[in-house]
């Protein structure tokens, strides 16, 4: 009888423990930390020995480290679209067919379509307080300067404090320009053609071969003059027109000031947490670090062993530490899933005008941002949730930043959309050790809207095959990037197509040094056949959607320009510092 009683007590206790465990996994707080252009080799927990990142490393020590965590795109805009929606960016129209694969201007009309369902929308419906602090880069307006159709508040966020576009060299005086070289190259030929055309018209008019109406010539000159004036005005005022800070729908600082910027972002994040200690919340803290223009506050400037880039990494790590501290202060650590990643790999071509390296380190991996070599898409993936996910665990299975969507949607007790394909998979079984294999048998790597490569992890093998249909032409040829053009492009003379495709086994050659051949891999053609079948199935799942990154949607439209004062005042205001 005593044994029966003891057994009953043990069963009751176990049920109680299971009940607590189930309760703790239901509707936790979610904090998603995203760096910009951070290399996987920049962090101590991924092997860096000289940069100090103790707070980010703590996430790894007390949580799970994903060692094959893949960004859905090697560029900011499409990668972030995939992150928010759990879908390849080609499905939402957020992948470009043109050379430019990201939004560059605040007054472009493209952006994340309102038809897309973000995890913030679904969590908001489940009673979560939701905030995006930092970089957005997914569009702003559609038809007028105040419709805010692509704004974070139109995609499920209750609160927004940050940059609508991105941090660029042009935003910080003295840091050079990402446009100057391209504009100079792009204008040389049109100006030459225009000049030759005008001289030719003058000659044929003079010798009487052709009579050109004076009015037609005047209109032609007027159009050319107006176009040049608008172009010069726009690039002269680029910083004021595109680099500004918003709170919700209001501009609070135009142009953006970098003074104590990371501290301001961190303060906003901490205040949001403290406002919502009694309800579940979703916080996306999207750092400007370490995209150029680089910056660091006085506390961190000159303190690292890797110049301004290292200072910026260490300042971001300090911010992560403050977020973890505020969770502990309010006893929220055990109730909060914290995720840290980067939107893509380090931008290896970033070198300042003074010759200082302003790009990060991708470890052993080839290439970087804008390429689908591992250095461009293999990113940090750290998940921290004491008592729920394994502590100090390493998972080498292929995972994607698209997996965050189904993972947190399920944790919030929300339903995944049934009217569309979700490409991500729930990570929790892997994180808790209940599964040992990733659900991603195939991952498709796009360069803009062009299918560039495919990763295949067969269920009965440790191999991770990667097939390239084309690769970027590095410049100089013996370098690790496209230094002549600042980024690599996806078509035409910028790439080399491969027939048969290049084949690597990442489990044996993670550096992608030696392509396999039929002589060195007996299953060469069988692997290509299986991958091609997967490509065909994937392609059939795609549907035509409006291209949000078409030239029409990318170009600056004056009527969409946000301005907190007036153009005559260079759109200047500073409510953040108390000025106006």
pLDDT category, 18, cuts 50, 70, 90? very low
Q: For residue 67, what are the CA distances in angstroms to 60, 298, 377, 398?
A: 11, 33, 12, 8
- Domain 29-168+244-440+545-560 class, CATH top level: alpha beta
Q: Which of 405, 124, 387, 160 is nearest to 279 (CA)?
A: 124
Q: What is the mean pLDDT of residues 44-73?
A: 98
All structural domains of the chain with their residue ranges: 29-168+244-440+545-560, 179-237
pLDDT tens figures, 277-290:
999 999 999 999 99
Is the pLDDT at 355 greater than 70? The verdict is yes
Distance (Å, whole) CA 282 – CA 271: 13
Is the pLDDT at 325 greater than 60? The verdict is yes
Helix 307-329 and helix 54-61, axial crossing angle in degrees, nearest 10: 50
pLDDT category, 214, cuts 50, 70, 90? low
Q: What region, left, alpha or beta, does residue 73 occupy, with left being phi > 0 and alpha being psi -120 to 50 degrees?
A: beta
392 Cβ neighbours under 8 A, 6+ residues apart: 60, 61, 62, 63
Q: Are 301 and 311 in contact (CB under 8 A)?
A: yes
CA dihedral 405, 409, 412, 417 (to 10 degrees): 160
Q: Which fold has domain 179-237?
A: Helix Hairpins (1.10.287)
Task: State residue 354 phi and psi, 5-degree precision.
Answer: -90, 0
Same fold, 29-168+244-440+545-560 and 179-237: no
Distance (Å, whole) CA 559 – CA 534: 44
pLDDT category, 23, cuts 50, 70, 90? very low
Q: Are strands 29-35 and 336-342 parallel, antiparallel or unpaired?
A: parallel
Handedness of CA 77, 78, 80, 81 (dihedral sign): positive
Q: What region, left, alpha or beta, does residue 38 occupy, with left being phi > 0 and alpha being psi -120 to 50 degrees?
A: beta
Query: In 255-299, at which residue ranges do the beta strands (DSSP E only) sit?
Result: 281-286
Is the pLDDT at 531 greater than 80? The verdict is yes
Is the pLDDT at 2 greater than 60? The verdict is no
Is the pLDDT at 102 greater than 90? The verdict is yes
Q: What percent of the chain has pLDDT over 90?
A: 81
Is the pLDDT at 578 greater than 70? The verdict is no
DSSP single-letter state for residue 150: T
pLDDT tens figures, 403-444:
999 999 999 999 999 999 999 999 999 999 999 999 999 999
Is the pLDDT at 47 greater than 70? The verdict is yes
pLDDT tens figures, 433-489:
999 999 999 999 999 999 999 999 999 999 999 999 999 999 999 999 999 999 999
Q: Which of 324, 207, 210 is nearest to 270 (CA)?
A: 324
Helix 180-207 and helix 214-236, axial crossing angle in degrees, nearest 10: 170
For 276-294, b/e burial (b = at least 16 CB within 10 A) is beeebbbbbbbbbbbbbbb
Active site residues: 76, 137
pLDDT score at 193: 74
pLDDT score at 178: 78
Is the pLDDT at 17 greater than 90? The verdict is no
pLDDT tens figures, 109-154:
999 999 999 999 999 999 999 999 999 999 999 999 999 999 999 9
The strand pairing partners of 342, in sequence order, are 35
Question: What number of other Cβ atoms are within 10 A of residue 434's Cβ?
Answer: 8
Distance (Å, whole) CA 81 – CA 20: 35
pLDDT category, 577, cuts 50, 70, 90? confident
Distance (Å, whole) CA 255 – CA 288: 15
pLDDT category, 348, cuts 50, 70, 90? very high
- The mean pLDDT of the chain is 92
Rg (CA), the chain: 26
């Amino acid at each position: 009888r005593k044994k029966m009683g003891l057994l009953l007590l043990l069963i009751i206790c176990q049920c109680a423990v299971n009940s607590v465990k189930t309760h703790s996994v239901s509707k936790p707080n979610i904090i998603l930390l995203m760096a910009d252009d951070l290399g996987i080799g920049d962090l101590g927990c991924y092997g860096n020995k000289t940069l100090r990142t103790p707070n980010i490393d703590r996430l790894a020590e007390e949580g799970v480290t994903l060692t094959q965590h893949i960004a859905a795109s090697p560029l900011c805009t499409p990668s972030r679209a995939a992150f928010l929606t759990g879908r390849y960016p080609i499905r939402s129209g957020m992948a470009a067919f043109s050379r430019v694969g990201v939004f560059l201007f605040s007054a472009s009309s493209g952006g994340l379509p309102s038809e897309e369902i973000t995890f913030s929308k679904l969590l908001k419906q489940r009673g979560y307080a939701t905030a995006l602090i930092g970089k957005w880069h997914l569009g702003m307006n559609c038809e007028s300067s105040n419709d805010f159709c692509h704004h974070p508040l139109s995609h499920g966020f209750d609160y927004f404090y940050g940059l609508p576009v991105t941090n660029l060299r042009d935003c910080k005086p003295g840091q050079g320009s990402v446009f100057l070289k391209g504009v100079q190259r792009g204008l040389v030929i049109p100006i030459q053609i225009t000049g030759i055309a005008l001289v030719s018209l003058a000659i044929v008019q003079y010798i009487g071969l052709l009579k050109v109406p004076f009015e037609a010539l005047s209109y032609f000159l007027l159009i050319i003059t107006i176009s040049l004036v608008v172009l010069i005005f726009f690039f002269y005022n680029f910083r004021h027109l595109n680099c500004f800070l918003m709170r919700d729908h209001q501009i609070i600082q135009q142009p953006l000031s970098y003074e104590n910027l990371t501290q301001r972002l961190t303060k906003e994040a901490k205040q949001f947490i403290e406002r919502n200690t009694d309800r579940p919340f979703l916080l996306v803290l999207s750092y400007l670090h370490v995209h150029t223009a680089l910056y660091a506050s006085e506390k961190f400037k000159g303190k690292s062993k890797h110049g301004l880039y290292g200072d910026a990494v260490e300042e971001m790590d300090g911010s992560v530490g403050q977020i973890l501290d505020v969770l502990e202060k309010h006893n929220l650590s055990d109730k909060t899933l914290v995720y840290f990643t980067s939107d893509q790999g380090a931008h290896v071509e970033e070198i300042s005008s003074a010759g200082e390296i302003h790009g990060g380190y991708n470890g052993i991996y080839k290439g970087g941002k804008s390429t689908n070599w591992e250095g461009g898409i293999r990113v940090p993936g750290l998940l921290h949730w004491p008592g729920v996910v394994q502590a100090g665990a390493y998972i080498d299975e292929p995972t994607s930043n698209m997996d965050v969507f189904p993972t947190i949607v399920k944790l919030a007790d929300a339903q995944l959309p049934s009217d569309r394909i979700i490409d991500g998979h729930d990570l929790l079984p892997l994180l808790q050790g209940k599964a040992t294999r990733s659900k991603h048998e195939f991952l498709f790597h796009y360069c803009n809207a062009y299918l560039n490569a495919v990763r295949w992890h067969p269920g009965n093998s440790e191999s991770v095959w990667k097939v390239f249909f084309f690769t970027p032409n590095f410049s100089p040829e013996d370098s690790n990037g496209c230094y002549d053009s600042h980024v690599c492009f996806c078509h035409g003379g910028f790439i080399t197509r491969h027939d048969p495709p290049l084949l690597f086994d990442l489990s044996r050659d993670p550096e992608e040094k030696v392509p396999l051949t039929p002589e060195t891999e007996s299953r060469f053609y069988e692997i290509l056949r299986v991958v091609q079948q997967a490509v065909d199935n994937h392609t059939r799942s795609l549907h035509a959607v409006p291209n949000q990154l078409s030239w029409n949607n990318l170009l600056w439209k004056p009527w969409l320009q946000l301005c907190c004062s007036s153009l005559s005042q260079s759109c200047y205001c500073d409510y953040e510092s108390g000025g106006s």
